[in-house]
Amino acid sequence: MAKLLRLGVLLSGGGRTLENILDQIRAGKLAAEVAVVIASRPNIRGIDIGKAAGVPTHLVRPRDRAGVEAYSEAMCRLMDEARVDLILLAGFLSYWIVPKRYLGRVMNIHPALLPAFGGKGMYGHHVHEAVVARGCKVSGCTVHFVNNAYDEGPIILQRPVPVYAEDTPDDVAARVFREECIAYPEAIRLFSEGRLRIDGLRVHIDSPAYRRP
């Protein structure tokens, strides 16, 4: 039996994305295990979800560290100790630096079709409010590798959804989240099977399902 992919999860909030990953693992749809969870804020639901699943869960706060490099290193040492293969950002809002040894091994999911509605200040509900205010007819989600620029890493998968003029931001959020629950596990699977090859800002996917027709 193949070795399970070891995941490290960084989060700052409700932990809905962690919950989805854990559900997928329990359902046997994702051959992985969550080896460690790190929260950037105390008293958040994401911590409870990690603990309830029996995952070693830590609080590492930027304010408790002397600068962003010390903060990032503290988190990555915990990742090292947990022998993490892939770091997942799951609603993680703190500024950090990906050290060289983890470049190409950190993923994020963004609730819009990047480069639209990305960049600073564009997270969570702000994204869907902006989509509705612009009157878009399509939005979606983006799974990307994380480099050291906001929302500018190589894109792995994008899944579009329709948007209707009558939608509230909550409606769009719910529709996009359903696609996030498909896209993130799928990107993790492709990574674990060695099917992703980064080529500058492009990600080649070596799989029949993603072959150019």
Choose which of 159, 169, 182, 189 interacts with its own copies (CB under 8 A).
159
Q: In the 8-state DSSP scheme, what is residue 154?
A: P
Choose which of 31, 41, 80, 210 interacts with its own copies (CB under 8 A).
210
Q: In the numeric block, which tokens belong to residue 94?
A: 């703190």
Q: Is 204 a catalytic residue?
A: no
Which is catalytic among the residues 58, 110, 126, 128? 110
Q: Interaction with its own copies in 166-195: which residues (CB under 8 A)?
A: 166-167, 171
Residue 165 touching its own copies (CB under 8 A) = yes
Q: Shortest Cβ distance from residue 158 to its own copies (Å)? A: 4
155: helix, strand or coil:
strand
Q: Shortest Cβ distance from residue 128 to its own copies (Å)? A: 14
Is the Cβ–Cβ distance between 203 and 145 less than 8 Å? yes
**Residue 145's beta-bridge partner residues?**
107
- Long-range CB contacts for residues 205-212, cutoff 8 Å, separation at least 24: 205/156
Distances (CA, A) of 52 to 17, 19, 48, 204: 15, 10, 6, 37
Q: Interaction with its own copies in 98-157: which residues (CB under 8 A)?
A: 113-117, 132-138, 140, 142, 154-157
Residues acting as catalytic residues: 110
Residue numbers at the binding site for its own copies (CB under 8 A):
113-117, 132-138, 140, 142, 154-160, 164-167, 171, 199-205, 210-212
